[in-house]
Structure 1
Amino acid sequence: MSQPSSTQGRQDVPLLDQTLGQAFDATVARWPEREALVVRHQGLRYRWRELAEQVESTARGLMALGVAPGERVGIWAPNCAQWCILQIATAKIGAILVTINPAYRSAELEYVLRQSGCSWLVCADAFKSSDYHAMLQTLLPELASHPLASERLPDLRGVISLATTPPAGFLPWTMLAERAGQIEVAALRARECALHDDQAVNIQYTSGTTGAPKGATLSHHNILNNGYMVGRSLGLSEHDRLVIPVPLYHCFGMVMGNLGCIVHGSTMIYPNDAFDPEHTLRTVAEERATLLYGVPTMFIAMLDHPLRDRLDLSSLRSGIMAGATCPIEVMRRVIEQMHMAQVQIAYGMTETSPVSLQTGPNDDLELRVTTVGRTQPQLETKLVGEQGEIVARGEIGELCTRGYSVMLGYWNDPEATERAIDADGWMHTGDLAVMDEQGYVRIVGRNKDMIIRGGENIYPRELEEFLHTHPAVAEAQVVGIPCERFGEQIVAWIKLHPGHSVTVEALSDWCKARIAHFKVPRHIRFVDEFPMTVTGKVQKFRMRELTIAQLEGH
């Protein structure tokens, strides 16, 4: 008789009992002169001692602004040195960092700021096609007046810009260092001493299965230990140099990247403000990096880049590929052509801080491309059937995880929290999986129809409700179809109101102006009817089949 699909990770690896600030201070004390952070596109390099000076100054500056423990401070910016500095500084003063997707447009930004009750927002001036200053000036016409009093965002007290000379109404980042002198070092130390590791330190917004994004609330204990465990599996040490081209607003960047390095004393290296294959390859070679992170699409872009053959990547030994399934040929090329013999696969979700399963450095190639590894230390995994029963090994069930990494809950949304985490503390991921006799888990599908495009999680329901706000749209259905480059692409089937018309181009442009680029449907089909079951349910699998057939010219 097959054993049940239930495993427990190693219990002999003790969890850390620290706040982020305590872990950071311990590393600074141990290796003050070692390189801590390299930000290539800003031309910045900090040793741990120098990074600590920036963090302390920022923390005291925030206290001078009146930021109290438990208050939310938002960061809306691409990868940069200030992102990392703010992450640690807010943790030191007991504030909760709200990480905002740099691709968000004004409607998404407004929702997140209002739902989280942010008191301060730190923003870049612009990123790619987004003019952050202009969007905020439209959203907050009162911004130029002090103190800020906005009807739309009543909790927001001000906006701090990373621009050298921000427009009227925006406070400059340098202001934090200028105000730091108003707060005694002893006051900061007293604030830090009053914190404990099970307090919330981060809110990350995930696309909602029922429309609006939900704020996964994570504690010091959640994310510091996850960064520690991921880094431990990789064998991270003070001698390692990790290139982080993945976005910091995701757990991949800020937890597995920043916190993994902070707790193990490794060097954090940001090659650019966003992923660029040439910048990343040059950074690996010129910085003599030992590890590299990325989603499969990033590795594919680097492997296929003409510069790769001309650069010396021999310093690499390992890294992590996550966010989507990795084709075996890609994994083989990463190992052979990028020297990443010990590259690992990690699986998780924002709500679990994020990693709950991970392959090991010595797992064979087949396990690294067909599974997402085994249960991490101090965590539990089980696969359950429709009635909640644990299924046998080899059978399909919903993946559930329990332990230190499970979030505190969704911010100000107890009902959604109760739906996601059961009474026994199990986080229900919505992913369907199979567990083998050795405890390795293979993801076989998703029971929530989530689309993963280039490492970004997109829930169709959220997009469908957004499309309904267009005056010509009567009904919308969204599905994902396979895409070689991004893993999946978004397809929207649209029924229009009688007497209304809109072109594909016009609807696409309307979306681009209002939502993040990765959520904009790649294909839009105007239809009179959707494929339905006899009971009136939309057949999304049939929509996928019909779309693929149409695109292939069948």
Structure 2
Amino acid sequence: MDKPTICVEPLSLVQGQSEPALWSVSLESVLNEKAEEHNNTPAVIFPWQNKQLSFAQLRQRGQLVAASLLRTGAQHGDCVGIIAGNRYEYLEVFLGGGLIGCKVLVLNNTYRPWELRHALERTECRILFLAPTIGSRSLIEHVDLLSSSSSQGSLPSLIQIVFYGDSPTNVTMKHQNYDEFTSFMKVDSDKLDKWEFWRRSVQPSNTLSFQLTSGTTGAPKVAMLSHLSMLNNARFVGLRLGITSTDVICCPPPLFHCFGLVMGFLAGLIHGSTVVFPSDYFNADAVLDSVYRHQCTTLLGVPTMFIAELEALQSRNDRIISLRKGLIAGSTISHTLMNRLSKSMGLSEMTIAYGMTETAPVSFMSAADDAPNKRNETVGRVMPHTQAKVINQLGETLPRGVRGELCVSGYGLQKGYLKNKAKTAEVMKFDKDGILWMHTGDECVIDSEGYCRVTGRIKDIIIRGGENIFPAEIEERLIAHPAVSEASVVGVRDVKYGEVVACFLKRALQQVDRPTTEEMQSWVNDVMSRSKTPQYVFWVGDGGVCEDFPTTGSGKHQKHLLREIGNQLVRC
């Protein structure tokens, strides 16, 4: 008698391609190579500052800032901080710090004064570059707090503030403006030996940047990212996106986030593309103006940015003809939005990237030639030289198609959280084979073809009467409604079930009539079980709800704040 065939599902363990080989380089070697290769070609354009820099000028200005940092007292291994909008000086400081081995701290430009001070204390920042205004927002209160903290001795490491533009009045600590800071056009002779020593001392494994996590659920941690991890990630993102030296990339995401800095600036630098930064702070009209004026071929952004750009486009008579490629990070998007982007903006080659700050950042990404359902329902396949797996609560790798926590390994992993061994050990763990894995906290499923679908944050799972409910699938259904442009689903307290589903919605501008609560509930209930149907429907902008979605500086919805708002509304 024949033995029965036993079918074993393959495990949710995927390995990225091993070609092309990893680079083992520092920022300086990449900058030198691209300056020689592309020379006077525009590397970056800042329309709002009426400024552009060629690849050669980027290198020259980076070297100038490096020399100025040395002259001010910075050394290899010191922390140099920036809090500013997207401006050309930001890139000069990032390059200058990297050239001499400084750790460049990119600070969230939405930080409140005490958050800025806390970040500077934790990183022992030596020199801070600060814009007194970002968009219409003033940072004078931040400056006042830093001055008083310095005079009280609570910021002993901070030796100087460098202001972009005119220095504010009544600053009591050492300061100067950026033009003064960079006024010496060469390295002093007595610093020349130190300059050469520090340059030669920079290794690919050295920390290039301190990146603060977005902090959607708690206090941010300081991730340490190396030259090797950031440069290779930018390179692979550009390859999968298909950008070349003929592309002009429009990059609205902020430079303090990996999206703007790695996936935007560094990817453009490595692939010889021109990168346009439309404004210091996101402005949909400025994005459209930049696309028209500079004939951009590629547009980057999170979903909320693309939605705002589509809405701004409705009031214009212009037609976009230059755009072809787009890159969305932060979440998957609906078929409806994908079709609108293709039809209205010419973005026929949309791709989606997934990652986290701690992985430098992208670990999965779709490609333009993926099937349409794979391009907007998944975050694509694993990136080169990256390994990923989906595990259960026991740490066991699950079969394909089964949900669990996504873990990532490879070159992109952070070096750890600065001065926080406990938190590092919580998320970075060696398996029995000695492989170090980053536990992402994201609940995902990997299908038979290796595509990854993010089903939500594990900590955001709603437990209704013992049933696990995943917000992402409900959000996908909600934003498929023509009246909804954005949706966020959270659990709110309930006496009977412990938690029930609540949704926060933003209405699409083109819709005159807003659906009732019953209509939205019916929309969800038509395709999902009753337990997943929102018991509460809140519209952003309504009195007592919130004027807009609370977001991080990188555009992610802060669900812990939405839960608080929902619980308050339910009690009312």
TM-score, length-scaled by structure 2: 0.78
2:165 corresponds to which residue?
Answer: 163
Tell me, in whole angstroms, the C-alpha distance in 2 between the residues paired with 1:308 and 1:235.
31
1:120 corresponds to which residue?
Answer: 127
Tell me, in whole angstroms, the C-alpha distance in 2 between the residues paired with 1:400 and 1:176.
44
Contact 2:106–2:212, Cα closer than 8 Å, also in 1: yes
Does residue 385 (structure 1) correspond to residue 372 (structure 2)? The answer is no
2:357 corresponds to which residue?
Answer: 350
Tell me, in whole angstroms, the C-alpha distance in 1 between the residues paired with 2:274 and 2:138.
31
Identity %: 30
Does residue 442 (structure 1) correspond to residue 453 (structure 2)? The answer is yes
Tell me, in whole angstroms, the C-alpha distance in 1 between the residues paired with 2:50 and 2:315.
23
SS of 2:225's partner is strand
1:535 corresponds to which residue?
Answer: none
**CA distances 1:388-446 after superposition (whole Å, capped 9, x unpaired):** 00000111010000000010000111111111110231000000011110000111121
Q: CA deviation at 1:181?
A: 3.4
* Shift in CA distance, 340/208, structure 1 to aligned 2, threshold 3 Å: closer
1:193 corresponds to which residue?
Answer: 200
* Shift in CA distance, 81/118, structure 1 to aligned 2, threshold 3 Å: same
1:337 corresponds to which residue?
Answer: 344
Contact 1:344–1:358, Cα closer than 8 Å, also in 2: yes
Does residue 411 (structure 1) correspond to residue 418 (structure 2)? The answer is yes
Does residue 103 (structure 1) correspond to residue 110 (structure 2)? The answer is yes
- The 5-angstrom pairing of residues 249-398 of structure 1 reads 249-306=256-313, 310-398=317-405
**CA distances 1:330-368 after superposition (whole Å, capped 9, x unpaired):** 111212321222221000000000000000120122111
Contact 1:278–1:307, Cα closer than 8 Å, also in 2: no
**CA distances 1:364-392 after superposition (whole Å, capped 9, x unpaired):** 22111110011001000100001000000
Does residue 431 (structure 1) correspond to residue 442 (structure 2)? The answer is yes
Does residue 154 (structure 1) correspond to residue 156 (structure 2)? The answer is yes
1:172 corresponds to which residue?
Answer: 177
- The 5-angstrom pairing of residues 7-18 of structure 1 reads 7-18=14-25
2:143 corresponds to which residue?
Answer: 136
Contact 1:295–1:323, Cα closer than 8 Å, also in 2: yes
Aligned with 2:62 (options 55, 62, 66): 55
Aligned with 1:236 (options 216, 238, 243): 243
Greater alpha carbon shift after TM alignment, 59-68 vs 171-180: 171-180
Tell me, in whole angstroms, the C-alpha distance in 1 between the residues paired with 2:557 and 2:117.
18
Tell me, in whole angstroms, the C-alpha distance in 2 between the residues paired with 1:295 and 1:485.
18
Q: CA deviation at 1:518?
A: 7.6
- The 5-angstrom pairing of residues 489-528 of structure 1 reads 521=561
Does residue 483 (structure 1) correspond to residue 490 (structure 2)? The answer is no
* Shift in CA distance, 485/272, structure 1 to aligned 2, threshold 3 Å: farther
Contact 2:351–2:368, Cα closer than 8 Å, also in 1: yes
Tell me, in whole angstroms, the C-alpha distance in 1 between the residues paired with 2:81 and 2:186.
23
| Paired positions, count | 482
Q: CA deviation at 1:25?
A: 1.1
* Shift in CA distance, 264/207, structure 1 to aligned 2, threshold 3 Å: closer
Q: CA deviation at 1:522?
A: 6.2
- The 5-angstrom pairing of residues 512-551 of structure 1 reads 521=561
**CA distances 1:476-522 after superposition (whole Å, capped 9, x unpaired):** x9x98443479xxxxxxxxxxxxxxxxx99x99xx99xxx9986946
SS of 2:129's partner is strand
SS of 2:97's partner is helix
Contact 2:43–2:274, Cα closer than 8 Å, also in 1: yes
Structural RMSD (CA) = 3.0
Q: CA deviation at 1:186?
A: 6.3
Q: CA deviation at 1:241?
A: 0.9
**CA distances 1:250-281 after superposition (whole Å, capped 9, x unpaired):** 00000001110111111111001111111101
* Shift in CA distance, 218/404, structure 1 to aligned 2, threshold 3 Å: same
Contact 2:364–2:382, Cα closer than 8 Å, also in 1: yes
Tell me, in whole angstroms, the C-alpha distance in 1 between the residues paired with 2:315 and 2:32.
38
* Shift in CA distance, 524/422, structure 1 to aligned 2, threshold 3 Å: closer
Contact 1:332–1:365, Cα closer than 8 Å, also in 2: no
Aligned amino acid, residue 188 of structure 2: I
**CA distances 1:298-346 after superposition (whole Å, capped 9, x unpaired):** 1111112245753342211212111123121111121232122222100
Tell me, in whole angstroms, the C-alpha distance in 2 between the residues paired with 1:325 and 1:208.
21
Aligned with 1:217 (options 224, 230, 242): 224
Tell me, in whole angstroms, the C-alpha distance in 1 between the residues paired with 2:372 and 2:557.
31
Tell me, in whole angstroms, the C-alpha distance in 2 between the residues paired with 1:211 and 1:438.
35
Aligned with 1:27 (options 21, 24, 34): 34
Aligned with 1:204 (options 211, 227, 240): 211
Gaps of 5+ in 2: 1-7, 462-470, 476-487, 491-498, 509-542
Q: CA deviation at 1:128?
A: 4.4
Tell me, in whole angstroms, the C-alpha distance in 2 between the residues paired with 1:284 and 1:248.
19
Does residue 69 (structure 1) correspond to residue 76 (structure 2)? The answer is yes
Greater relative contact order (Cα 8 A, min sep 6): structure 1 or 2?
A: 1
SS of 1:29's partner is helix
Aligned amino acid, residue 299 of structure 1: F
**CA distances 1:89-111 after superposition (whole Å, capped 9, x unpaired):** 11001000111111101111111
Contact 1:294–1:321, Cα closer than 8 Å, also in 2: yes
Contact 2:45–2:275, Cα closer than 8 Å, also in 1: yes
Tell me, in whole angstroms, the C-alpha distance in 1 between the residues paired with 2:283 and 2:507.
15
Tell me, in whole angstroms, the C-alpha distance in 1 between the residues paired with 2:237 and 2:9.
30
Contact 1:282–1:311, Cα closer than 8 Å, also in 2: no
Q: CA deviation at 1:165?
A: 4.2
* Shift in CA distance, 116/449, structure 1 to aligned 2, threshold 3 Å: farther
Contact 1:244–1:257, Cα closer than 8 Å, also in 2: yes
Contact 2:43–2:272, Cα closer than 8 Å, also in 1: yes
Does residue 401 (structure 1) correspond to residue 423 (structure 2)? The answer is no
SS of 2:425's partner is helix
Greater alpha carbon shift after TM alignment, 149-158 vs 392-401: 149-158
1:92 corresponds to which residue?
Answer: 99
SS of 2:68's partner is helix
1:471 corresponds to which residue?
Answer: none
Q: CA deviation at 1:448?
A: 2.5
Q: CA deviation at 1:131?
A: 2.5
Q: CA deviation at 1:206?
A: 1.3
Q: CA deviation at 1:164?
A: 2.9
Greater alpha carbon shift after TM alignment, 333-342 vs 155-164: 333-342
Tell me, in whole angstroms, the C-alpha distance in 2 between the residues paired with 1:522 and 1:158.
38
Q: CA deviation at 1:23?
A: 0.5
